[in-house]
A and B are shown apart, each in its own frame.
Chain A
Amino acid sequence: MFRNPLLLIAVAMTFAAAIWGIIDTQGLAKFAAEEVRTLFRYRGWFVMLTVTTLLLACIYLAVSRYGRIRLGKDDDRPEFSTMSWLSMMFAAGMGVGLLFYGAAEPISHFLFLSQELKPQEAASAALFVTHFHWGLHAWAIYGLTALVIAYFSFRRGMPQLISAPIKSTFPGEKWTKSVGWLVDLLAIYAIAIGLAGSVAMGVFQVQDGVAALFKWDGAGLGLSLTIFAMLVLAYIMPLTVDLSKGMALLSNTAIFISVGLMVFILLVGPTYFLMNGIVEGIGAYITNVIPQGFRTYTFFDNKVEEWFGGWTLNYMVWWLAWSPFVGVFIARISKGRTIREFLVGVLLAPTGFSIFWFGIFGGMGFFQGGAKKLDPAVIESNINQTTFLLLETLPLSSLTTVATIIAAFLFIVTSVVSAAYVLAMFSSAGDQNPSTKIKLIWGAILGILGLSMILSNSVSAVRQIIAMSAGPFVFIVILLMVCLFKCLKKESS
């Protein structure tokens, strides 16, 4: 470990952030909020331009002659069936966020937008904005990062590191060594903070689920810390032994429970109303998705600017924070696919699923003025209760609440185990079998970072801290795209 400066500095940086968060939680949250406000105000246009460019680049690669190039040798074929490929990819990319925001996000947008719009227009706009956040743009960020890693790893034999495409595209150039090193360091930092944030949000979700189940009012930090301790115990063991098949099983179980929950709500709830909303949502999404990618709300007042920064820009930067981790994961399961089938799968399948998911959970909130009945004051002050408030309006609410708690817990455990592996691989020069010691170090750091974010006891603070850590990735992902296009052009000629 002491001979590896990248590992040492990465551990020191993330550990320092964690300690800062534990000692002065409010100070870190305030600092992050100010930094992110500056980033979004002055570079919001650049974030939107970047993610839209990534989406357009993905569409171009899928339809152009480059689409025929295989991620691997020309005679390689996919290792996984298309269904399990899509399921694994979706679990890695969205995970606990879906459970957290399924009902909360459309309802929050509705409550904000209904101040300006008629209720029916606000409901449509709320669903569309939610679809936009979880749709093609999010998956273009993941897809392009994964494509770059898969192409350079399987076709050009480079290690699965974020710096590898840069070194491979510009061989022998001195700047690539230092820039590559910095890129790997920033990737490690963004993954660690991004994952720890998701751990904190998952713990908040489970905590509110347990409180709803046992009708505990005011269940606070004590319950959060108990859940957090159980979580740490649950993920430490898989880090010490190779449980890749077991992890796949846990991840599939979480997806199975989530899909079961979605189907249950569709069938038990007002099916015709939800399906109408989904069909309307598909139309609105297809019509507006590209123009929305260029919207910056620059001619609106501060309130709208804050809403746009707090949701849209924050999401885009959040996906960027997760992109190295999810990118490596998607790349690893995509060997043997052509660029076209890879991009069509990565972009369309998860986007389609998200439209159904939010159409059902959000639609339930809009049925017969449901959003207002769910007590806007509670949603605004504690967004993570929304899913459980919604489930309480349906039959078998105890069962569905338990299912949501289990799925959230499983999503967090599988995410932390996978993240600790990717962090260990990145900090061991791309070693596919990093040592248990390094995996445990990252497991511990993710735990301490997660704890510091739990202590902030605020979803908003967690989102700001994640956004702050992922800022540099707006630049890195563009550099990766340049590397990919340059090498594809060279290969084709």
Chain B
Amino acid sequence: MQSLWVKIMSIDTWLNLVVFAFIGVMLWLYFKDVKDDSAEESH
């Protein structure tokens, strides 16, 4: 139990958690519908 706690609190776990969360957010942003804003289309 103690070793699990040590693992959870380790920098390795937290850094990788950030990375996995980031990958998830990027996938979500890619597939997410965005509000259409005519101001962005200057072309």
Contact = CB atoms under 8 A, between A and B. Distances in A.
B31 to A, nearest CB: 9
Contact of B12 (A42, A155, A171): A42
Given A42-B12, A43-B19, A482-B26, A171 B43 contact: no
A42 B43 CA distance: 43
Contacts of A475: 22
Interface of A is mostly: helix
A309 to B, nearest CB: 15
Interface in A464-487: 475, 478-479, 482, 485-486
A479 B26 contact: yes
Contact of A156 (B12, B16, B26, B41): B41
A90 B30 CA distance: 32
Contacts of B30: 482, 485-486
Contacts of A172: 35, 37
Given A157-B42, A482-B29, A170 B15 contact: no
A73 B42 CA distance: 11
A173 interface: yes
A112 interface: no
Contacts of B12: 42
B26 A171 contact: no
B34 A171 contact: yes
A168 B40 contact: yes
Interface of B is mostly: helix
Interface residues on B, range: 10 to 19
Contacts of B19: 43, 46
B15 A43 contact: yes
Nearest to B13: A42
B34 A38 contact: no
Interface centre among B22, B29, B40 (most CB of A within 10 A): B40
Given A46-B19, A485-B30, A171 B42 contact: no
A171 B12 CA distance: 35
A169 interface: yes
A156 B11 contact: no
Contacts of B39: 171
Contacts of A73: 43
A171 B40 contact: yes
B34 A157 contact: no
B15 A156 contact: no
B35 A156 contact: no
Contacts of B40: 156, 168, 171
Nearest to B19: A46
Contact of A42 (B16, B22, B34, B35): B16
A157 B43 contact: yes
A482 B12 CA distance: 26
Nearest to A152: B40
Contacts of B11: 38, 42
Contacts of A173: 34-35
Contacts of B35: 171-173
Interface string A161-181: 000000011111100000000
A6 B16 CA distance: 30
Nearest to A486: B30
Interface in B1-43: 11-12, 15-16, 19, 22, 26, 29-30, 34-35, 37, 39-43
Contacts of B37: 171-172
Nearest to A170: B34
A359 to B, nearest CB: 36
A156 B29 contact: no
A475 B16 CA distance: 13
A372 B43 CA distance: 60
A482 B30 CA distance: 6
Interface of A: 38, 42-43, 46, 73, 155-157, 168-173, 475, 478-479, 482, 485-486
Closest 4 CB pairs of A and B: A157-B42, A171-B37, A42-B15, A171-B40
